[in-house]
């Protein structure tokens, strides 16, 4: 299917926004389509808006739901509980609450870690996982740099153009349209301007928690997992991906040329095709 046809198919679906009380936490979601369940989980500091353009392209065949994870977007923001196990329990509770059977999970970065973690712990709730640009064996200095960037984003902005200018500098490879989505969905009005919707305290706890060893989850996961990496990623090095493939040589790998860490925003068509090929296989 050509990109023009995919775009027109996507345009027939409007994502509705709603909150789902899972019995454990209330999560804000963007939802479209009908059919088997396909859930999308964003990276640290982001929200469901960043994955909505990808999710809606699957709404012809799936109930496609992009989720604001705890601490982010319009979902609940408890004071603590931001480890991998906490997010995994949230996802498990959401799948049970939706009551549509096991789900395909598509996760970027933080969402990738959380998706693999829940698939390892609750294989009966998960059909398969697309793990975008987050693996075990990420180097300590990479997490140091990530933590600095995350903490620097918690600030007051004068207006939306100021937010867009900041984000364009922080994410130089993300197209302007995707930057606009991040600006329009990730900030809220406060006295004096705009601040991130993501909780600063939560982001600090998540950034620390991302350092936890992920090898056990990858060793134990039995559901199909597709590993995706941006060839220019500064988060997942070629060495980290190679080490992950040595740990699990059975997992298919797609490396997206020209893309950095933000694979689904920088290369949406390639991401869509890779996921489609994986789930059809």
Task: Please say if the pLDDT value at position 9 is more than 80.
Answer: no
- Alpha-carbon distance 18 to 20, whole Å? 7
Position 274 scores a pLDDT of 98
For 138-234, where are the alpha helices, taking DSSP H only? 140-152, 160-170, 176-185, 200-209, 215-220
> Which residue in 13, 72, 108, 261 is the catalytic one?
261
> Which residue in 68, 86, 90, 133 is the catalytic one?
133
Interval 123-134: pLDDT, tens: 999 999 999 999
Buried b (16+ CB within 10 A) or exposed e, 157-180: beeeebbbebbbeebeebeeebbb
Interval 159-173: pLDDT, tens: 999 999 999 999 999
- Provide the pairing of β-strand 225-230 with 126-132: parallel
| CATH topology for the 3-280 domain | Rossmann fold (3.40.50)
Interval 85-96: pLDDT, tens: 999 999 999 999
> Which residue in 75, 109, 199, 267 is the catalytic one?
109
Annotated active-site residue 109? The verdict is yes
Annotated active-site residue 76? The verdict is no
Q: How confident is the model at residue 224 (pLDDT cuts 50, 70, 90)?
A: very high
Q: How confident is the model at residue 1 (pLDDT cuts 50, 70, 90)?
A: very low
Position 13 scores a pLDDT of 67
Position 245 scores a pLDDT of 98
CA end-to-end span of the chain, whole Å? 17
- Alpha-carbon distance 94 to 165, whole Å? 35
What mean pLDDT is predicted for residues 146-158?
91
Annotated active-site residue 3? The verdict is no
């Amino acid at each position: 299917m050509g990109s023009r046809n995919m775009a027109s198919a996507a345009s027939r679906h409007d994502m509705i926004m709603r909150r789902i009380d899972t019995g454990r936490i209330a999560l804000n979601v963007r939802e479209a389509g009908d059919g088997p369940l396909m859930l999308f989980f964003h990276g640290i500091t982001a929200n469901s808006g960043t994955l909505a353009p990808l999710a809606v392209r699957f709404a012809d065949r799936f109930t496609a739901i992009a989720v604001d994870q705890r601490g982010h977007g319009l979902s609940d923001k408890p004071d603590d509980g931001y480890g991998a196990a906490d997010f995994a329990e949230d996802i498990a509770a959401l799948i049970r609450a939706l009551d549509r059977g096991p789900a395909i999970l598509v996760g970027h970065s933080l969402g990738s870690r959380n998706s693999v973690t829940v698939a390892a712990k609750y294989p009966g709730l998960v059909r398969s996982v697309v793990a975008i640009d987050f693996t075990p064996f990420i180097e300590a200095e990479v997490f140091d740099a990530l933590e600095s960037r995350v903490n620097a984003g918690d600030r007051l902005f004068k207006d939306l153009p100021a937010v867009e200018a900041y984000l364009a500098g922080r994410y130089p490879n993300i197209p302007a349209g995707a930057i606009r989505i991040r600006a329009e969905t990730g900030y809220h009005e406060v006295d004096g301007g705009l601040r991130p919707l993501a909780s600063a305290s939560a982001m600090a706890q998540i950034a620390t928690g991302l350092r936890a060893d992920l090898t056990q989850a990858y060793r134990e996961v039995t559901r199909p997992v597709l590993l995706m990496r941006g060839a220019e990623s500064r988060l997942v090095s070629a060495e980290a991906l190679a080490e992950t493939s040595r740990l699990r040589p059975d997992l298919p790998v797609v490396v997206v040329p020209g893309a950095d860490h933000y694979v689904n925003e920088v290369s949406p068509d390639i991401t869509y095709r890779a996921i489609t090929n994986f789930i059809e296989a």
